[in-house]
Amino acid sequence: MKSNLFKETIWQLIFELNAHGFTVADFSSCNVCFDLLAKKDKSIFVIKVFANIDALHESQAVELKKIAAIFNAVLVLVGLHTKKGKMKKGIIYERYGIACIAPQTFFELIRGKEPIARYTRGKTIARLDSKKLKKLMKEKKISIEDLAMNIGISIETVWRYKHGYENVSLANLKKLEGFFDESLAKPIEIPNYSAEITYEEEINDEALSKLHKLGSKVFVFYNAPFRAHSQSTEQKNNSLLVARCSSRTELKKKAPRLRASSRMLNTLPLIIGKKLKEKNVAGSAVVAEEELLGFSRFDEFVKFVKERLGANNE
């Protein structure tokens, strides 16, 4: 059972995303690794919500980073607090390499304002624009010694800041900004996971293994609204988002979720199952395993899937 606080946070995120022109798919009522997918132009967000970000498990993190890497998406975990206390606005926390931010920080992010500090090992660290600091000191004709005395930090520390040392405590950054009445923070970017993409060479699923043999890279998932992503090794635009199905009841349940995912992730939705007679359910192509076995090339199979999707793929 999801708490009212969780539901309220989801609602707030959807409202803000819609207000800023994003299309949103809501998976928060499903037991999957993310809660929201959001898309605007070429930007895609993969969003997971926790009241306490320490509830994230490593296996969830691995799957989330894999999804973000494959679909070139921005991955964020939106949370309210850690086990030590409330999460602060404008600060990135981190769990298993995933950026974790408060709702207010996320709202600023979609408005174009990136976080200014990172909380790590008990300290809040910002990035100082040392070139701008050096320029301001020159313009105002203030020495390292005078600046150190005025803001109450050591001469050695100011010397390092002036000469290119970027890592600065948030407290010292605020002192510098207060003295010069200027912003001196460099934004903290959300991590990119593109280097972490790996696809499966050995697949313990006959249908997915067949897709691989047809000439596609297959990425397998275990806690997503889809079972795999199958992408042509030659044409990147030919990619399938695949769900596996064993009954008509399961088919009706999975098809709308798969279609919603595929729209956000710019893929073709495909459901594969044994002895399925349906051709298209809720905008997702349905293919029986026996039909898949009749193909010898991935591009031919993708063409078949597109034909089966027909007008529903527009």
Domain boundary among 74, 89, 115: 115
Given a cut of 90, whether residue 236 has pLDDT beyond it is: no
Give the burial string for 276-291 (b: 16+ CB within 10 Å, else e). Answer: bebebbbbbbbbbeee
pLDDT (mean) for 87-113 = 95
What CATH number is given to the structural domain containing 109?
Answer: 3.40.1350.10
| Distance between CA atoms of residues 28 and 193, nearest Å | 23
Can you name the residues that pair with 276 across neighbouring β-strands? none
- 174 plus 228 within the same structural domain: no
- 145 plus 231 within the same structural domain: no
pLDDT (mean) for 232-256 = 89
Q: Which domain holds residue 151?
A: 125-186
- 95 plus 27 within the same structural domain: yes
Residue holding tokens 């970000």? 53
| Distance between CA atoms of residues 122 and 78, nearest Å | 20
| Distance between CA atoms of residues 248 and 278, nearest Å | 9
| Domain count of the fold of the chain | 3
- 174 plus 220 within the same structural domain: no
pLDDT (mean) for 196-208 = 77
Considering the domain boundaries, does residue 191 fall inside one? no
Overall pTM surpassing 0.95 (yes/no): no
Structure confidence at residue 276 (pLDDT):
86
- 58 plus 111 within the same structural domain: yes
Given a cut of 90, whether residue 202 has pLDDT beyond it is: no
- 182 plus 225 within the same structural domain: no
Given a cut of 90, whether residue 103 has pLDDT beyond it is: yes
What digits encode the pLDDT tens for the residues 249-299? 999 999 999 999 999 999 999 999 988 889 999 999 999 999 999 999 999
What CATH number is given to the structural domain containing 129?
Answer: 1.10.260.40
Instruction: Kindly state the percentage of the chain with pLDDT values over 70.
Output: 95
Residue holding tokens 């988002």? 241
Domain boundary among 62, 93, 115: 115
In the predicted model, what is the mean pLDDT of the chain?
92
Considering the domain boundaries, does residue 192 fall inside one? no
Identify the CA nearest to 117 among candidates 184, 43, 61, 45: 184
pLDDT band with cut points at 50, 70 and 90 for residue 311: very low
Given a cut of 70, whether residue 78 has pLDDT beyond it is: yes
Question: Strand runs (DSSP E) across the chain, as ranges?
Answer: 23-26, 36-40, 43-52, 74-82, 85-86, 91-95, 98-101, 117-120, 123-128, 167-169, 185-186, 216-220, 228-232, 239-245, 268-273, 280-281, 284-288
Domain boundary among 165, 186, 207: 186
What CATH number is given to the structural domain containing 304?
Answer: 3.40.1350
- 216 plus 272 within the same structural domain: yes
- 204 plus 303 within the same structural domain: yes
State phi, psi for 186 to the nearest 5 degrees: -90, 140
- 110 plus 180 within the same structural domain: no
10-14, 119-123, 181-185, 254-258, range with the lowest pLDDT: 119-123
- 108 plus 53 within the same structural domain: yes
All residues at 6 or more sequence positions from 37 whose CB lies less than 8 Å from its CB, including other chains: 24, 25, 27, 44, 45, 46, 47, 260, 261, 264, 265
Considering the domain boundaries, does residue 73 fall inside one? yes
Considering the domain boundaries, does residue 206 fall inside one? yes
Identify the CA nearest to 97 among candidates 72, 123, 71, 63: 63
Return the higher-pLDDT residue of 197 and 294.
294
Structure confidence at residue 248 (pLDDT):
87
Structure confidence at residue 195 (pLDDT):
59
Considering the domain boundaries, does residue 17 fall inside one? yes
What digits encode the pLDDT tens for the residues 46-61? 999 999 999 999 999 9
What digits encode the pLDDT tens for the residues 18-38? 999 999 999 999 999 999 999
- 171 plus 237 within the same structural domain: no
- 136 plus 98 within the same structural domain: no
Structure confidence at residue 314 (pLDDT):
44
